[in-house]
Amino acid sequence: MGIADQIGNVKLLELPKTAFLCSRKVPASVVLKCYDWALSVREQGHCVIGGFHSQIEKDVLHFLLKGSQPVILVLARGIKVKLEPVFEKPIEEGRLLIITPFERDVKKVTEQTAYIRNQMVIDLSQSITVGYAIPNGHLSQMLSQIDLLKIKFL
């Protein structure tokens, strides 16, 4: 499935991208590792791509948007008509791209749209950092089909 809609700097797709994925439920020991990783890639200026939907992923996005490195946000729904204010400045600076494989009439995130979104994140990335994947969960199942050399677990 290709990109159906976008807003921001499309040239970011040409950069090498590291995906960040994390299950919704994480052990407390993982939280700081994810935050440390976000601060590290922010300082290094690497382009990070993700859905940034789970709470940990949202926290990572928060850290990344405070930096100056490029970020690609992939939605599991259509793009809203009015963007969240936190995205305005990074879009103006040309360091944020918001993409989605869905038309604007797709308003709700479902298990199926999240799967499609995560697949797009994986397909567009050169490497994947996983904060945590619940054993036998949806994310673990997706990752089991990918070359392990592409994946780094925190």
Query: Rounded to the nearest 5°, which phi and psi values hold at 13?
Result: -65, -20
Rounded to an integer, what distance in angstroms lies between the CA atom of residue 95 and that of residue 119?
Answer: 22
Identify the pLDDT of residue 62: 96
Structural contact between residues 37 and 131, judged by C-beta atoms closer than 8 angstroms: yes
Pick the CATH number of 5-153 from 3.40.50.450, 3.40.190.10, 3.40.50.1820, 3.10.105.10: 3.40.50.450
The pLDDT of residue 37 is 97
Give the residue among 146, 149, 139 at the shortest CA–CA distance from 30: 139
What does the domain layout of the chain look like in residue ranges? 5-153
Number of Cβ atoms within 10 Å of the Cβ of 95: 21
Distances (CA, A) of 90 to 47, 59, 81, 111: 13, 16, 17, 29
DSSP codes, 55-80: HHHHHHHHHHHTSSS-EEEE-SSPPP
CA terminus-to-terminus distance, the chain: 29
- Under DSSP, the state recorded for 115 is H
What is the pLDDT tens value at each position of the chain, 154 positions in all? 799 999 999 999 999 999 999 999 999 999 999 999 999 999 999 999 999 999 999 999 999 999 999 999 999 999 998 989 999 999 999 999 999 999 999 999 999 999 999 999 999 999 999 999 999 999 999 999 988 788 999 9
